Amino acid sequence: MTANTVVGVPTETAAGERRVALVPKVVEKLRSRGLDVVVEPGAATAALIPDDAYTAAGATLGDPWQADLVVKVAAPTADEAAKLRRGASLIGFLAPLTAPAGISALREAGVTGYAVESIPRISRAQSMDALSSQANVAGYRAALLAAEHLTRFFPMLTTAAGTVPPAKVLVLGVGVAGLQALATARRLGARTTGYDVRPEVAEQVRSVGAQWLDLGIEAGGSGGYARTLTDAEREEQQHQLGKAIGGFDAVITTAQVPGRTAPRLVTAEAVRGMRPGGVVVDLAGESGGNCELSEPGGTVVAHDVTVTAPLNLPATMPEHASELYARNVLALIELLVDDSGALRPDFADEIVRGACVTGEGE
Amino acid sequence: MTANTVVGVPTETAAGERRVALVPKVVEKLRSRGLDVVVEPGAATAALIPDDAYTAAGATLGDPWQADLVVKVAAPTADEAAKLRRGASLIGFLAPLTAPAGISALREAGVTGYAVESIPRISRAQSMDALSSQANVAGYRAALLAAEHLTRFFPMLTTAAGTVPPAKVLVLGVGVAGLQALATARRLGARTTGYDVRPEVAEQVRSVGAQWLDLGIEAGGSGGYARTLTDAEREEQQHQLGKAIGGFDAVITTAQVPGRTAPRLVTAEAVRGMRPGGVVVDLAGESGGNCELSEPGGTVVAHDVTVTAPLNLPATMPEHASELYARNVLALIELLVDDSGALRPDFADEIVRGACVTGEGE
């Protein structure tokens, strides 16, 4: 009888990262599938999950880096990657498009790396879609941030002394984060409008009670992302958005193209056209921002409009963000192991092949 | 022909106060009633309303303290009170129960003071009810703060990888702020529960989609407020609340008795019984707080539960808070002036008599 496959869960070390790759409920599921789990002591302290919740779920505490399969949220640092065993596997947001040096290091170390962002966005892989699960968190938090910074109510308020109208919220870029931002702003009582260069999302925008802003520029791409606009299209888009944005109290932007600088959707002039007390929440800060005035990771006030570009919003809600991510990781692990719980990836499977960015399946 | 009555609008000087007592729309209304309005330059800068919006509405910029009727949000400081003309009138949150020295100073200065918090809570005075209008803002912001600090989603979230349940939110003390907090938390998708010692509010709690928590302690009082509990009742209440609170993700407290220290509803032990990542938002910080761990004006984390006791939440949403307050002030002024716009208070009117805390009508 061979030893069980060991899954290792390190502490995340990136600044501000409060998530953890596995939660106790998922540890239980892995144990029942015949895998062992080693959790670094304190790995989930920032997510407010105590070590004993992991041991109660069947994990042991110890060095996670010697495991057969290490599961992380963020890509490992160079020091961390050096701790991985040759022949080990690794799951995480490995950033293959934006951090190729990290991928090369893993390849040289003989590690089979599975990047969750490279999982093909097909129906069968929905349960593994960590980009979507974390984007749900980011979109929800973005709407809360907009409400927090606005000097006005989101909902219509009817009082004995009169009525205040609902806030008008515009979401630019309607993927999972944008839809969740629209849905949350609408729940809070705002009048919502969505804009995207992919005409096929208009129906989804309407399904969450929002209006569809049609600027006549269409740029559907592949894998659910938009293609990059031509210069002329971009100029026309900025011009038309600039006119539209002045009519909104809050603008939430989420437009990103994988591996590229985020498109500039909100110019400084458009911000100047907003009413004092308005808000721009820019979720594309990690790739440079959608708003010309954004300072990624910071908040600026310009012309009495607050422009905030928070980084890593999922980490601000670590319990549920970790829980959703852990379920995605579980679904991927279930695809990588055989009935006895041994790692036996089938690189003929398009999900496994797609996710694998270093090693045998790349 | 006599000169018009002049209404003066000073800049608020309390730390963190961003509201202003009149907004341009209300200036227009006063002008059409035959009153003049003098606004201190920059009075509404913190509320993001420019001076020229006031002049466009018919106000002049100048020294507001020489006016016949000075309208403020917060009670004036001693220095400010000294600037008032003998014989002038003043409207504001004059805090007659908690700041009697300020009231005495106004009396000695020969000022007729109208405290908005002393307006009788009768139907005819609803349009002047500044306590309610500002409590609406505070309750809304309290629910947003709870959502912001919680490490979990408020709404139920259904994803391809599974479902997260909605947050459970408990509101203790269900006046206007508590009802608005319940309504806002419910809008955001939380499961909500309300508690109050006044059994008559159970129906209102249910009307905003919340459950009613019945601990069997009833203490209805007068003027819409609860009476102070006996020692035995308070002990029983703390004991039972302590048991109940552990089942909630977020607790918002709003229990205040005018002129008294806020009742202690959430003990340190009750906080210890909450799940890590939970939140207590204590709106009673100005009168000492409803939670034993609250630091008024601050946020503490105890046993991984965030306890925040913000002061003056209405000031964090200055545009709408000012607009609602200004409408309340307008309704009161309309009661104090005659058809020509001259100040002619009828102290036989129970609203005028109730509001007047110094001067002829006290």
- The whole-number pLDDT of residue A2 equals 66
Residue B127 · residue B328 · CB < 8 Å: yes
What would the mean pLDDT of A336-350 be, rounded to a whole number?
95
User: Which residues sit opposite B252 in a β-bridge?
Assistant: B171, B281
Whole-number average pLDDT of chain A: 94
Cβ distance B161 to A328 less than 8 Å, yes or no, reads yes
Mutate to test the interface with B, among A188, A249, A279, A334 (most CBs of B within 10 A): A188
Convert the pLDDT of each residue in A18-29 to its tens digit. Answer: 999 999 999 999
**Hey, what's the torsion of the CAs at B215, B220, B226, B231, to 10 degrees?**
-60
Residue A193 · residue A168 · CB < 8 Å: yes
Query: Residue B2: which pLDDT band, with cuts at 50, 70 and 90?
Result: low
The interface predicted TM-score of the complex, written ipTM, equals 0.93
Convert the pLDDT of each residue in B274-308 to its tens digit. Answer: 999 999 999 999 999 999 999 999 999 999 999 99
B36 tagged catalytic: no
Total Cβ atoms within 10 A of residue A57:
19
What would the mean pLDDT of A44-52 be, rounded to a whole number?
96
Q: In this model, does residue A1 exceed pLDDT 60?
A: no
Convert the pLDDT of each residue in B216-270 to its tens digit. Answer: 888 777 766 777 788 888 888 889 999 999 999 999 999 988 888 999 999 999 9
Place of tokens 């963000």: A321
Query: Residue A221: which pLDDT band, with cuts at 50, 70 and 90?
Result: confident
What is the architecture of the domain spanning A133-315? Answer: 3-Layer(aba) Sandwich (3.40)
Question: Between vectors from CA A236 to CA A234 and to CA A242, what angle results, nearest 5°?
Answer: 100
Convert the pLDDT of each residue in B170-223 to its tens digit. Answer: 999 999 999 999 999 999 999 999 999 998 999 999 999 999 998 888 877 776
Question: What tokens does A295 get?
Answer: 């300072």
Q: In this model, does residue B1 exceed pLDDT 70?
A: no
Residue A313: which residues within 8 A CB-CB, separation 6 or more? A137, A138, A141, A142, A283
Q: In this model, does residue B119 exceed pLDDT 80?
A: yes
Query: Residue A215: which pLDDT band, with cuts at 50, 70 and 90?
Result: confident
Whether B240 and chain A come into contact, CB under 8 Å, resolves to no
Contacts of B12-17 with CB under 8 Å at 24 or more apart are B12/B43, B12/B46, B12/B72, B12/B73, B12/B74, B13/B74, B13/B77, B13/B80, B14/B74, B14/B312, B16/B311, B16/B312, B16/B315, B17/B46, B17/B73, B17/B74, B17/B312, B17/B315
- How many whole angstroms separate alpha carbon B132 and alpha carbon B178? 11
Question: Between vectors from CA A107 to CA A104 and to CA A110, what angle results, nearest 5°?
Answer: 155
Q: In this model, does residue A242 exceed pLDDT 90?
A: yes
What would the mean pLDDT of A131-147 be, rounded to a whole number?
97
**Hey, what's the torsion of the CAs at A279, A283, A289, A294, to 10 degrees?**
30
Segments making up each domain of chain A, as ranges: 6-118+318-358, 133-315
Select from A48, A52, A53 the least CA-distant residue to B305.
A48
pLDDT above 90 covers what percent of chain B? 86
- Active-site residue among B104, B126, B207, B340? B126
Cβ distance B323 to A164 less than 8 Å, yes or no, reads yes
Place of tokens 């939140």: B279
Residue B213 · residue B173 · CB < 8 Å: no
- How many whole angstroms separate alpha carbon B292 and alpha carbon B240? 16
User: What is the third-level CATH fold of B136-315?
Assistant: Rossmann fold (3.40.50)
pLDDT above 70 covers what percent of chain A? 98
- The whole-number pLDDT of residue A284 equals 97
Nearest CA distance, A5 vs chain B (angstrom): 23
- The whole-number pLDDT of residue B250 equals 98
What would the mean pLDDT of A65-85 be, rounded to a whole number?
96
Cβ distance A157 to B136 less than 8 Å, yes or no, reads yes
Query: Residue A265: which pLDDT band, with cuts at 50, 70 and 90?
Result: very high
Question: How far lies A43's CA from each of A72, A123, B164, in Å?
Answer: 10, 32, 22
What would the mean pLDDT of B153-169 be, rounded to a whole number?
93
Cβ distance B160 to A127 less than 8 Å, yes or no, reads yes
> Could you tell me where the beta strands, DSSP code E, fall in chain A?
6-9, 36-39, 60-61, 69-74, 89-93, 112-115, 157-159, 162-164, 168-172, 191-195, 211-212, 250-253, 279-282, 299-302, 305-308, 356-358
Whether A167 and chain B come into contact, CB under 8 Å, resolves to no
Query: Residue B360: which pLDDT band, with cuts at 50, 70 and 90?
Result: confident
Q: In this model, does residue A50 exceed pLDDT 80?
A: yes
Place of tokens 């004995």: A160
Cβ distance A128 to B161 less than 8 Å, yes or no, reads yes
- How many whole angstroms separate alpha carbon A36 and alpha carbon B60? 76
Nearest to B317 among A133, A152, A189 (CB): A152
Question: What tokens does B24 get?
Answer: 């341009």
Q: In this model, does residue A351 exceed pLDDT 90?
A: yes
Residue B109 · residue B343 · CB < 8 Å: no
- The whole-number pLDDT of residue A111 equals 96
What would the mean pLDDT of A181-193 be, rounded to a whole number?
98
Q: What is the CATH number of domain A6-118+318-358?
A: 3.40.50.720
- The whole-number pLDDT of residue B58 equals 98
- The whole-number pLDDT of residue A362 equals 72
Whole-number average pLDDT of chain B: 94
- The whole-number pLDDT of residue A63 equals 98
Nearest CA distance, B86 vs chain A (angstrom): 31
Total count of residues recorded for chain A: 362
Whether A95 and chain B come into contact, CB under 8 Å, resolves to no
3-state secondary structure of A174: coil
B129 tagged catalytic: yes
Q: In this model, does residue A90 exceed pLDDT 80?
A: yes
Higher pLDDT, A220 or A58: A58
Cβ distance B155 to A147 less than 8 Å, yes or no, reads no
Whether A335 and chain B come into contact, CB under 8 Å, resolves to no
Whether B317 and chain A come into contact, CB under 8 Å, resolves to yes
Residue by residue, DSSP assigns B245-303 as: HTT-SEEEE----TTSPPP--B-HHHHHTSPTT-EEEETTGGGT-SBTT--TT-EEEET
Put simply, the chain A residues between 243 and 302 with a CB less than 8 A from any chain B CB are 276-277
Give the CATH class of B6-118+317-358. alpha beta
